Structure 1
Amino acid sequence: MESRPIIVCSSFKFGDNCASTCSCVQANSESCSNVDGTCRCKSGYTGSNCQSACSSFKFGKNCSSTCKCVQANSQNCNNVNGTCMCKPGYRGTNCESNCDDNTYGIKCASQCTCNAVNSASPCNKVNGTCNCRLGYDPRQNCGKECRLPHYGESCLLPCKCNTKTASSCNAFTGECVCRPGYVPPSCREVCSGYTYGQNCSTNCTCVPENTRECHPVTGGCTCLAGWRGQNCQLECEDGTYGDECAKECNCQGNQFKTCRKSDGLCICSTGYGGENCSKPCAMWRYGSECLGRCECHVNNSISCDTITGVCTCKSGYISEFCEGAIYMAPDRSSVVVEAAVGSVVALLFIASAVGIGLFVMMSRRKRRYGEVAKADTNGLTVTNQTYNNTEFNQNEAEEPTYENMATAKTQPSETPSSGNAYDTAEKTKTDAALYGNVEVSNPALPPANVGGEYESVTLTSGQGEGGLYEALRKQSSTDTSLYTGLHFDNKEEKGAKKSHSKKTQNKKKPAKLPKPSGSQSSSE
């Protein structure tokens, strides 16, 4: 029997006549079996087709070995030979050591560039970042201070202001330095109160009342309409107005004076008005813009001055506003005569007024006692007959003044000085008697001033007009007796005896008075 020759397949071929191809990842495989195609992996790989590298910290044939690296400081180890791959910032065979100062990165191969003076510590060993002192910027390798909009440690804190209106921010405190024209520390408000510049510390030189704005940065003055000049200290020249006095007045009237500096409104000469100052003031108007109203009395005035408002009076009138009439005397003597006539007229007027007053008073009194009946007076003569021949009865009168009053027959008085026909009459009711102080039956009452309208009356026989009231004194109240202390004097009956009448309550006949023998009487 003949033996067959042994055939060796080429790489990654197997089977009969090496007709099949192995499924191994050839880059990770050494070869495959030429019989069945089984893959033989390279060191550091594993899997049926050698498709996977060794897992972390494994290496060698079939990944059967474990790396010796410090895994916390290592990224991994080489899957073939187990060499440790250190993380940035570490070094050593097994990644057991940190990078030296001022070095950083993988295998500590990089050099730090931080400013040593402004650095708080060596740079970061992983990425080389500088550890700056407070207020210095790590991005600038601690060579410069923090800038807007940050400050503080590592320049990580936001500044304490409006960064758009701040020129800088304190790298250490966060306080801002505002741009000129803004108020510190927030830099959110514009300078006010006519100040400007850095921190609003400079005063504007503008005239405030003529200025619209002082520029917060430059201090330049923006004038109100009607003013000009660097500090707004100059008014627009006549004939110009508006902002920067750039416009010309349009007041073409014949009486043109000027226009208002602010808006060009025409300002007319005194006594003229209208849009273009071409119209004189209307009647009874005067002054600037014809705004004044004349105070002249229209009916007594001819005109009113359109400039001053002074009134021109018609003939016969005088005073500032033509309110008073005047009388033009021909000479001095006529003035004296007129004064005398005026005095006489005034006296006549006063006398008439007094007479009318007395007439009215007497009329009222007559009406008051008009129903009192007249009786025989036994010859007693009185010039004023108002109460002469009077009788009183016991009947109640309509007028309460004589209520329940009656008199008895009396005799002529024995005493010459008391010739009063009624001085012994007795009062029947003390609160309304006609003669309240002749003889009062109730002595407890006041003797004189019971409240009578007339306290004392003296009648003189034969005396002239008005004798009845010549000694009359009016009291404050008229509610009670009309006369108190009424007396008649009969001088001729000096030897007559004084008689007293008794009160007669139920006597119907009127009392008769004794007739005095004489015609003369005198008052007590």
Structure 2
Amino acid sequence: MQLLQIPKPYCRNYTFGSNCAESCECVAENSLGCNSSSGVCDCKAGWIGSSCERRCDPYHFGKGCEENCSCQNTEVCDNENGTCFPANVCLARNTLNCLPALSLTCQQVSENCTHGDTQKPSLKNDMLDICCGGASNFTDSICIARDDCDCKTNYGGFACIACEQGKYGEGCKQKCTCQNNATCDHVTGKCDCSRVVGKTGDHCDEDCPPRFYGLNCSSSCNCSQFQNPVCNPQTGTCTCQSGKTGHNCYEDCRNYTFGPNCAESCECVAENSLGCNSSSGVCDCKAGWIGSSCERSCDPYHFGKGCEENCSCQSTEVCDNENGTCFPANVCLARNTLNCLPSLTLTCQQVSENCTHGDTQKPSLKNDMLGICCGDSSKLIESICITRHDCDCKNDYGGFACIACEQGKYGEGCKQKCTCQNNATCDHVTGKCDCSRVVGKTGDHCDEDCPPRFYGLNCSSSCNCSQFQNPVCNPQTGTCTCQSGKTGHNCYEDCRNNTFGPNCAESCKCVAENSLSCNSSSGVCDCKAGWIGSSCERSK
């Protein structure tokens, strides 16, 4: 005889197991119940997971999320029935209008970081932009919102990610005041100078304080304490003051250099100087030398440091510019002299300051200098020099102080006489006349008249007159001399209005009503018919 099988009771209220003593771990609003034997949750359409805790992803719907959505790229479908609606992807922590059932972690999205098409607008690509591009981290969550993301206070821009650079505050509507490409806090607007080199302050626009440089002026300069400014605010390189050099600006300038970092060269004549000031570049001249570059010797009457000592020599002697020792000497014109002492050369410009103070009756080197340099301003550009004993003149020069021959003399010793006329000059060596400043004359002696059709200095200019004139023009001025019957600037015009003769300067003596005209060259009247006489004054 078979025993009657009594069915097990059906568990209710999310219980299962023996005597329905166990509780199912299902999310009640996402499930229909659970298996009364195993406790496995029976998820509603649109939900999956052991507890029915997860909604379908935005691209699937239905029971077990097994149906594919057929929405546009910028839409999502209802997880239960697949209905499409427009949406946006937002960063969940900054967004007020997330659809609670449509949130994902960036950890989930990151599995597809390499599979997006960032050129094609889509919700998927927006998710990838947020989670894969560094705008958030894998612990962040993203969500779906209908239409635009409604951002929390102090957030805005794409997907409610923190304000774009340069903006801050509620709605990201306030503008940062940071300078030099510094960033600002998206909530407070406070500038962050940590990546700005050589600047600091509230707006990252203030120069580094002394002895600091680098990012936000956070590094200390390693330079001599006497430098100001201490170092370059960007690189930290020491900015050496005048007279100092070296990595830390502890070394003094050497080898005729001066200035900041010893970058300038002193303009001193090395053989005449001891060195130069490392800060200013001022030359330190040796005894016997002066000038900004120590380029000038003491004058013949002074010696020593700064040329401040007076020589005690005879009037025909000079003293050594360094130690004051006297020796006999002569004054010579430097450009014509072979034996100048190189350290004893003066310009006539220097000497000319004493032109009115000499005693030309008393032999002395000073008076010889005045005799050479004074009285002719053109000589101020000349230089004179001191020689031991007599001046040794260059070839073709001679006489007092090796000055070139006086005008009117030439040749060795300036003993031959020039033969030039009309105040022409001659070459002091060859005696050849120079007519270049003589008007209306030419030839070997500048005494020949200009040839036809030439005039002016050395007859070098051509007359601009009618070819029929002779003589053509004035040899001095070039003014055309018109022949009889011609007039005008170039003598091309015939005489008119009863005039005749050279340049039409004469008036014809004809009775006007009895004559036709007169000859432009001779002035002879051309009488009308029935009239005769030199003036056409008589009738036939």
- TM-score, length of structure 1 as denominator length: 0.30
CA radius of gyration, larger in:
1
- TM-score, length of structure 2 as denominator length: 0.29
Q: Looking at both structures, which has the greater relative contact order when contacts are Cα pairs under 8 Å and sequence separation is at least 6?
A: 1
